[in-house]
Amino acid sequence: MSSTTADASTTGTTVITNIASLVTNDPSLGDGSPLGLIRDAAVVIDGDRIAWTGESREAPATDNRIDAAGRAVIPGFVDSHSHLVFAGDRTQEFNARMSGRAYSAGGIRTTVAATRAASDEELERNLTRYLDEALRQGTTTLETKSGYGLTVEDEARALRIASAHTDEVTYLGAHIVSPDHADDPAGYVALVTGEMLDACAPYARWIDVFCEKGAFDGDQARAILTAGRAKGLHPRVHANQLTYGPGVRLAVELDAASADHCTHLTDADVDALASGATVATLLPGAEFSTRAQWPDARRLLDAGVTVALSTDCNPGSSFTSSVPFCIALAVRDMGMTPDEAVWSATAGGARALRRTDVGRLTPGAYADLALLDAPSHVHLAYRPGVPLVRRVWRRGVRVV
């Protein structure tokens, strides 16, 4: 990710001390909860990694010292679902929708047209703007996707640009059937699984499909994800957002890292998620900005499903880059406790990306962390809308 104000001048080890409350996400530490919460804590950074965490009074000697002054420190947020390679403006579409006015919205197609028409430089400028914005709000790992190109060249271009700025890149040629293939969805699936996949695979880690009425059905989704897997891309699925459907069960069957949205779930869907390693990634920004039904996080958690929280940042249905905002919504409207929501936005996001080196503050993990202008992580829900992220370190470098 890009950084707004890099400060790479610090050398040697650094301790952040006088932390009122430190979320490690290691249940063997601190209070023994899933957050592994340590009171009156310190964390030691060595290079780009965490070297030590524990109680302040036991902190080892270091070269540099930062006083957290009784504030809280959490792992940087891991936002495992965004759509940031785009161009164009859909403000009027949003305004009309929320004002109850008719508007001939083109939806995703509007953004596809603008993205195709944009220069590489424009797309990259837009992407880095939103990556920086997310970083300032504490997001230190951010996945992003293609899906607004829908031609071989435009999808590959989007992924090439994305891969220059984040390791977590997802090929989403199967966002919708391209308008160019409106009368030939089978031909579009053949393109997505053939020439487009060949052009995109070198830049991506993941393959994703929007498995939904009006996008791709279960059979098409299976064909797309299977083809991607054969090219070394691991599956993830946009599943069960707008209606019930096969997406979630397909995701579990194919061992997708994540089934994203999960708003309309049958008991069989929940059972499938609980039985497999697929994370349920909830994206409340989308329900907020489209006035849709909230996903039921409580039901998933009570069934033993691993839940991640992400922004779905995109210009159509969820134009927020704020993970704290998603945490506040998850607590207010999705039945999560503040502890669960913070876990899901950090460790949960890491699980949804099958990462063990981010989303936790334990020795060996990347030194990706956020210092809050608050004494506790609970304030992320308690003080909704308030920009509480005061400092951010990524890979051991203070970037905010």
What are the binding residues for Fe(3+)? 81, 83, 238, 312
Separation of alpha carbons 366 and 77, rounded Å: 12
**Interactions with a second copy, residue window 206-225 (CB under 8 A):** none
Q: How far is the CB of 19 from a second copy (least distance, A)?
A: 16
Separation of alpha carbons 267 and 258, rounded Å: 18
235/349 with CB nearer a second copy? 349
What number of other Cβ atoms are within 10 A of residue 244's Cβ? 13
**Token representation of residue 271:** 């059972």
Q: Which residues are annotated as a binding site for 4-imidazolone-5-propanoate?
A: 90, 148, 175, 241, 317
Residue selected from 14, 141, 144, 289 as contacting a second copy according to rule CB under 8 A:
289
- Residue 302 binds to a second copy (criterion: CB under 8 A): no
In 315-394, which residue ranges form alpha helices assigned H by DSSP? 323-333, 338-343, 349-352, 379-382
Question: Are the CB atoms for 343 and 330 separated by under 8 Å?
Answer: no
- Residue 291 binds to a second copy (criterion: CB under 8 A): yes
- Residue 331 binds to a second copy (criterion: CB under 8 A): yes
**Interactions with a second copy, residue window 115-174 (CB under 8 A):** 133, 136-137
Q: How far is the CB of 319 from a second copy (least distance, A)?
A: 5
- Residue 322 binds to a second copy (criterion: CB under 8 A): yes
Q: Closest Cα partner for 368 from 350, 386, 382?
A: 350
90/394 with CB nearer a second copy? 90
Helix and strand element counts for the chain (H, E): 15, 17
Q: Which stretch binds a second copy (CB under 8 A): 97-105, 110-118, 206-214, 250-258?
A: 97-105
- Chain length of the chain: 400
CB neighbour list of residue 316: distance below 8 Å, 6 or more residues apart: 90, 93, 107, 108, 110, 111
22/259 with CB nearer a second copy? 22
- Residue 319 binds to a second copy (criterion: CB under 8 A): yes
Q: Which residues are annotated as a binding site?
A: 81, 83, 90, 148, 175, 238, 241, 312, 314, 316-317
229/332 with CB nearer a second copy? 332
In the chain, which residue ranges form alpha helices assigned H by DSSP? 91-99, 108-117, 120-136, 152-163, 185-193, 195-200, 218-230, 247-253, 267-275, 284-290, 297-302, 323-333, 338-343, 349-352, 379-382
Question: Are the CB atoms for 280 and 270 separated by under 8 Å?
Answer: no
Q: How far is the CB of 139 from a second copy (least distance, A)?
A: 12
User: How many residues contact a second copy, by CB under 8 A?
Assistant: 38
Residue selected from 30, 276, 285, 295 as contacting a second copy according to rule CB under 8 A:
285
- Residue 339 binds to a second copy (criterion: CB under 8 A): yes
106/185 with CB nearer a second copy? 106
- Residue 386 binds to a second copy (criterion: CB under 8 A): yes
- Residue 81 binds to a second copy (criterion: CB under 8 A): no
Residue selected from 236, 376, 391, 395 as contacting a second copy according to rule CB under 8 A:
376
113/382 with CB nearer a second copy? 382
Q: How far is the CB of 43 from a second copy (least distance, A)?
A: 21
What number of other Cβ atoms are within 10 A of residue 230's Cβ? 11
Helix 108-117 and helix 152-163, axial crossing angle in degrees, nearest 10: 80
Residue 84 DSSP label: -
Separation of alpha carbons 390 and 380, rounded Å: 12
257/326 with CB nearer a second copy? 326
Separation of alpha carbons 168 and 397, rounded Å: 20
109/332 with CB nearer a second copy? 332
Say how many CA atoms lie within 13 Å of 336 toward its Cβ.
31
Chain residues binding a second copy by CB under 8 A are 89, 91, 94-95, 98-100, 133, 136-137, 285, 288-289, 291, 319-322, 324-326, 328, 331-332, 337-339, 375-376, 378-379, 381-387
